[in-house]
Amino acid sequence: MKIKLMKTERIKSFFQWVLIFSFSSLLVGCGSGETDEIENGADVVAIVNKENITREDFQNELRWSKRKYRVEKNDTLDPNQSVWLKTNILNELIQESLLRQEAVRQDIKVSSGEFEKYLDQAKEGYKENTFQRALDIEEISRSQWEGKLKTHLLIKKLIAEVINRKIEISDEQLLDYFKQHMEEFQKGEQVRTLHIMVETEDEARRISKLIRKGKSFSELAKQHSTSPEGKTGGDMGYYEAGQMPKWFDDVFKLKVNKVSDIIRTPFGVHIFKVVDKKPERKMSFEESKKKIHTTLLHEAQEQAFHAWVEEIKKKSEIIIKYEILEAI
């Protein structure tokens, strides 16, 4: 296998090549064959079996990844962080292209009905203005978000067809894993909370006053909360420390039936009420079976997926334009 560079190979480009392959085994190799120079080459970061990954594609993913890792606009990444982030983005974009192409080859498609159902599930519980606000915070347009969602559904369907349905986990495997990893099956302290999210502090203060006067937290959540669980009275169920964003860490310090102060986040203004707590304890095998099955199934699927992608890599041709990547 070989990597074809659009310009003269340099030592710097070679080390980038090594870094990309060492960070992820999912970055594809290249088969033999020639790919013609394309027009507007400066706008293309990579070519995957003659399918272009554009500078705009890459820059959008870079911006969204910075949001995901909470990198602020005025933050400057050091060279190692920048290489790591760009490497991950390139890996994901190339893998996405390969899997889309494989879906076409295997005639796997997402119908309009399937997509609409998936779209409704993704937006379930959000009021329209709240959902749009979440997109605005993440700096992604509705059309871009729907495009990514459709690609995700297509790839999910492809993997389910080709990989997942062929893998089975036996009860013996589940029990063996439980016996060998009993220390993993420990439930930490859990809290069950009710939650209200609104857009302004003034609204949150008005609701806090009503709660102090004895108004039902659940009813106020149904009436005012813009979060998905608002329609069920704000019930978030049980969760452990670390499972929620860091802004809500202080909620664990509240006693049962106590209400939090107003908490401000980029997504809105929040009020919590703790309605129950469960102490830390060990889990039984029956309680653990579902988690073990998920773990073993995921491991088996990962191994099968990597082997499958390696086969696709051998048949693929990738051109990576390092000169363009360096300039982004």
262 and 316 within one domain: no
* Cβ burial, residue 103 (10 Å; 0-12/13-18/19+): buried
Q: What is the DSSP letter of 225?
A: -
In-domain check, residue 62: yes
Q: What pLDDT shows up at residue 316?
A: 93
Residues 38-47 have a mean pLDDT of 71
Co-location of 152 and 204 in the same domain: no
Domain end residue (candidates: 281, 296, 315): 281
In a domain, 294, yes or no: no
Q: pLDDT by residue (tens digit) across 238-283?
A: 988 778 888 888 898 999 999 999 999 988 999 999 999 998 889 8
In a domain, 291, yes or no: no
Q: What is the largest CA-CA distance in the chain?
A: 75
Residue from 25, 23, 24, 28 nearest 47 by CA: 28
CATH of the domain at 217: 3.10.50.40
Does 98 share its domain with 217?
no
Average pLDDT over residues 43-53: 91
213 and 78 assigned to the same domain: no
Mark whether 21 and 82 lie in a shared domain: yes
Mean pLDDT (the chain) is 81
**pLDDT score of 35:** 40
Higher pLDDT, 297 or 125: 297
Dihedral sign for Cα atoms in the order 9, 13, 14, 20: negative
The answer to whether residues 39 and 151 belong to one domain is: yes
> Residue 130 has which token pair?
């709240």
| 292 domain residue, yes or no | no
Q: Residue 3 falls within a domain, yes or no?
A: no
Are 239 and 90 contained in the same domain? no
pLDDT at res. 72: 59
Is residue 177, in this structure, part of any structural domain at all?
Answer: no
**Contacts of range 149-155, beta carbons closer than 8 Å, 24 or more positions apart:** 149/115, 149/118, 149/119, 149/122, 150/110, 150/115, 151/96, 151/100, 153/110, 153/114, 153/115, 153/118, 154/99, 154/100, 154/103, 154/108, 154/109, 154/110, 155/96, 155/99, 155/100, 155/103
- At residue 7 the predicted structure's pLDDT band, cuts being 50, 70 and 90, is very low
Question: Whats the size of the chain, residue-wise?
Answer: 328
Q: 């994901």: which residue's tokens?
A: 92
236: alpha, beta or left, given left = phi > 0 and alpha = psi -120 to 50? alpha
Pair (277, 309) in one structural domain: no
Say if residue 93 is in the same domain as residue 45: yes
Residue 191 · residue 239 · CB < 8 Å = yes
Range(s) of the domain holding residue 240: 186-281
Alpha helices in the chain (DSSP H): 11-23, 55-68, 79-105, 112-123, 128-137, 142-162, 171-180, 201-212, 217-224, 285-314, 322-327
Answer yes or no: do 107 and 208 share one domain: no
pLDDT of residue 172: 95
Is residue 25 located within the same domain as residue 116? yes
Question: What total of structural domains would you count in the chain?
Answer: 2
* pTM for this prediction: 0.52
148/48 same-domain check: yes
Measure the CA–CA gap between 300 and 312, rounded to whole angstroms.
19
**Does residue 265 lie within any of the structural domains?**
yes
Domain membership of residue 117 (yes or no) is yes
CATH number at residue 67: 1.10.4030.10
